[in-house]
Structure 1
Amino acid sequence: MTIRSFIGAAGAALAIATAMPAAAHDPGGVVTPHFEKAIPNIPGKTLTALIVDYPPGGTSAPHRHADSSFIFAYVLSGEIESKVNDGPTQTYRAGESWYEPPAANHLISRNASKTKSAKLLAVFVADTDEKELTTNIE
């Protein structure tokens, strides 16, 4: 085997190995930080806004929100299915919103459509020293 064919085979194996885990899971949402600012009249609290872009059929892993975080969620476009704690699974459309209490378990968060993208604004009010606003539930 020549060095050229060895490098080519190794590159192909690496490409296949890295593509397989992505193909085995649903595509996730892309989270983009949008705004973060300490709240001046509430010492120790910070307001953080994130944009979550879901591709068609996109989903987020079940996750838990920080113990100090109160969340307001607003659908910017498309439709989002959501289930928080023991509540029902609900579908929210563009212009609709909901809230999540501190330490909530967000068990379902996904694009309701398999053909159209969806976008969500998530606004957190949390302790300024809170390091992780979300952690995946195993």
Structure 2
Amino acid sequence: MLTRRGFGRIASCALCATAGFLATDASAQSPPSPTSGVRRKVLSQVEGPTPGYVTIIVEAEVDPGVLVARHTHPGVESGYILDGAIEIPIEGQATRTYKAGEAFQVPPNTPHAGARNGDRTLRFTSTYIVEKDKPLASPA
């Protein structure tokens, strides 16, 4: 198991956050490649809630105008917008804009993205409950 510092480069989020916007081949056990305009900080990472899963809480920032590529996570993503706003198209759901004080959830293995985040930096947290040893995010 990696240290908290090793997970410090993982993001979701958005998004996941996500911070998912983490569309890489990196596993939940190794940090993904950095994404330009996206900053992530792992706040907590623990085993569980059941064997074979890990819970990761991430805080992320996305610069204005940065598009978060379409991606999936091997588990549920629950996010909360701290500042700013972002439009999140989630497959099978109507595209919706989330703003500060609002929360979103993305079902496991469901393609989603992030776009139109306005003219200010987006800040959000995401909690991922994902299968251990699988990529935290994969391109969709």
Of the three residues 110, 114, 117, the one matched with 1:104 is 110
Give the conservation status (yes or no) of the 8 Å contact 1:55–1:111.
no
> What is the aligned counterpart of 1:74 among 51, 67, 80?
80
1:60 aligns with 2:68: yes
**How far apart, in 1, do the equivalents of 2:130 and 2:40 lie?**
18
Contact 2:72 2:108 in 1 (8 A): no
Deviation, 1:29, is 2.5
Q: 1:91 aligns with which of 90, 97, 103?
A: 97
Aligned counterparts of 2:64 and 2:51: Cα–Cα separation in 1: 40
- Aligned pair partner of 2:40 in 15, 31, 36: 31
Matched, 1:135 2:138: yes
Counterpart of 1:42 in structure 2 is 50
**1:53 & 1:82 partners in 2: Cα distance?**
15
Structure 2: stretches of 5+ with no match in the other structure:
1-35
Letter in 2 for 1:43: P
Kept after mapping to 2: 8 A contact 1:111/1:118: no
Distance in 1 between the 2:92 and 2:53 partners? 27
Uncovered stretches (5+) of structure 1, i.e. residues with no partner: 1-26
- TM-score normalised according to structure 2 size: 0.67
Give distance in 1, aligned partners of 2:64 and 2:133.
35
Percent pairwise identity? 23
- The corresponding residue for 1:13 is none
Contact 2:73 2:130 (C-alpha < 8 Å) held by counterparts = no
- How many residue pairs match? The answer is 105
Tell me, yes or no, if the aligned pair for 1:81 and 1:90 is still in contact at 8 Å.
Answer: yes
**For residues 129 and 56 of structure 1, what CA distance do their matches in structure 2 show?**
32
Deviations 1:25-50 (A, max 9, x none): xx6422332221113x5222211012
